Amino acid sequence: MNELTVNDLHLDYGTGAHANQILKGVSMHLQKGEVVALLGPSGSGKTTLLRAVAGLESPKQGTIAIGDRNVFDGAKNFEMAAEHRNLGLVFQSYALWPHKTVFDNVAYGLKLRKMGSSEIKDKVSDVLKNLGLGHLAERFPHQLSGGQQQRVAIARALVYNPPVILLDEPLSNLDAKLREEARAFLRELIVRLGLSALMVTHDQAEAMAISDRILLLNNGKIEQQGSPQSMYETPDTLFTAEFMGSNNRLPAKVVQRDGARVMLDIGGTPLQGTARGAGGGEPSTIIRVEEVKVSATPVENAIELPLLTCMYLGDRFECLFKSESGPEMSLRAYSKYKLEAGKYWLQLPADKLWVF
Ligand SMILES: Nc1ncnc2c1ncn2[C@@H]1O[C@H](COP(=O)(O)OP(=O)(O)OP(=O)(O)O)[C@@H](O)[C@H]1O
Ligand SMILES: [Mg+2]
């Protein structure tokens, strides 16, 4: 059974002539034990979708069900209040109460619900232990690191035992190193507790690392969804391909198409590529940076370009090749070693040279 089902959701901000369509028919689901990442550029509607599920925004049309309970039904004009939806919420600005201890921050919601104090103590201790915060219960937020504060915010959402948690950029306040650790921790926690989670992020690497499935939102609609691997390796659209990885875009002319095989002309060099997606419109040719192979000698399906510069990235170099004359063309590629100045053959494997 789905823990969360959203069907054809429409939401506008403003009314009448000033209405701004933000969600334009979003459908998605979340199964038990599944972590789904909601990914998309700034302004694509990620937070809005999360807030609509939580009951903090009123959609115009569509349905939302949590487990087998309908919580929103546009056709019936039915909307369940946020506090009855039994969801765990973790927002980007996790705002802990500064004058309450960690224990009291987490216990607060249970006290509001008039739970008995010994039951509260058990529940809070349990969730703090689960998050590795047991020894910090008596501290105040200012006595915690950023990562620990983040975990308190998550504890506060989990203490009600919600079957579904919604997280809006929960790791964005952490620095890069802590963020990578928190990512692994959060994923492990969600799986261990058998929760279902919908997590917003605009970082594609984070989305791939943490989720079982990615929903990519583009301007209020789901552009594509699937496993991290399928989104990365077999994108259906140029938008998905460009969003999921680091790419080179090439000024290619399509010379001939034969099913998925496409003959291209790139600045006078004939190359073979692969058609992806539905086609139509002006063709665009791209290749992931990591798929470009650098060779000092002539190789198949390659273009020859001089090296402009190499940047050291720690585990490798990122090198930029750029045409000196003729049509403007540049390509980025990774190299294990720093390259000498000169001309190189950049091999673009046909199955990785995508034409949309
Ligand atoms: N309360 C509001 N009133 C009017 N417009 C709003 C409101 N909240 C958001 N919007 C608009 O709705 C659109 C979607 O916003 P949303 O916050 O869902 O984007 P997002 O995908 O979460 O972006 P980000 O990655 O920047 O957080 C934006 O164009 C935004 O300006
Ligand atoms: Mg947002």
Q: Whose C-alpha lies nearest to ligand 1, atom 13? A: 43
d(CA 287, CA 151): 39
Cβ-count burial of 324 within 10 angstroms (0-12 exposed, 13-18 middle, 19+ buried)?
A: exposed
d(CA 57, CA 204): 26
pLDDT at 278: 81
Q: For residues 341 and 356, is the Cβ–Cβ distance under 8 A?
A: no
d(CA 104, CA 156): 10
Nearest atom within ligand 1 for CA of residue 169: 27
**In tens digits, what is the pLDDT along the chain, a chain of 356 residues?**
899 999 999 999 988 888 999 999 999 999 999 999 999 999 999 999 999 999 999 999 999 999 999 999 999 999 999 989 999 999 877 689 999 999 999 999 899 888 999 999 999 999 999 888 999 999 999 999 888 898 899 999 999 889 999 999 988 877 888 888 888 888 988 888 889 999 999 899 999 999 999 999 999 999 999 999 999 999 999 999 999 999 999 999 999 999 999 999 998 999 999 999 887 778 999 999 999 999 999 999 999 999 999 999 999 999 999 998 877 899 999 999 999 999 999 999 999 999 99
| Residue 229 dihedral angles phi and psi, to the nearest 5° | -65, -45
User: Which among 24, 46, 50, 92 is the best mutation to test ligand 1's pocket, defined by most ligand atoms within 8 Å of the CB?
Assistant: 46
Any ligand 1 atom below 6 A from CB of 51: no
The class (CATH top level) of 247-355 is mainly beta
How many CB atoms are closer than 10 A to CB 138? 10
For the chain, residues classed under CATH 3.40.50.300 are 2-240
Ligand 1 center to 27 CA (angstroms): 18
d(CA 96, CA 183): 20
Any ligand 1 atom below 6 A from CB of 220: no
* Residues facing 6 on adjacent strands: 28, 64
Any ligand 1 atom below 6 A from CB of 224: no
User: Which among 12, 23, 47 is the best mutation to test ligand 1's pocket, defined by most ligand atoms within 8 Å of the CB?
Assistant: 47
Any ligand 1 atom below 6 A from CB of 179: no
The ligand with the least distance to the CA atom of 46 is 1
Ligand 1 center to 22 CA (angstroms): 8
Any ligand 1 atom below 6 A from CB of 48: yes
Any ligand 1 atom below 6 A from CB of 201: no
Q: Whose C-alpha lies nearest to ligand 1, atom 9? A: 48
Q: Whose C-alpha lies nearest to ligand 1, atom 2? A: 13
- At the fourth CATH level, the homologous superfamily of domain 2-240 is P-loop containing nucleotide triphosphate hydrolases (3.40.50.300)
Q: Which of 292, 245, 239, 285 is nearest to 262 (CA)?
A: 285
Q: Locate tokens 């950023």: which residue?
A: 146
What is the CB-side half-sphere exposure of residue 65 using CA atoms within 13 A?
13
pLDDT at 74: 97
pLDDT at 18: 86
Within the chain, what is the greatest distance between any pair of CA atoms? 78
For the chain, residues classed under CATH 2.40.50.140 are 247-355
Nearest atom within ligand 1 for CA of residue 217: 21
Any ligand 1 atom below 6 A from CB of 45: yes
Q: Record the pTM.
A: 0.90
Cβ-count burial of 166 within 10 angstroms (0-12 exposed, 13-18 middle, 19+ buried)?
A: buried
Q: For residues 141 and 149, is the Cβ–Cβ distance under 8 A?
A: yes
- Collapsed DSSP state (helix, strand, coil) of residue 209: helix
Cα 7-12-13 angle, rounded to 5 deg? 140
Ligand 2 center to 171 CA (angstroms): 13
pLDDT at 175: 82
> In this structure, what token pair is assigned to residue 68?
């087998």
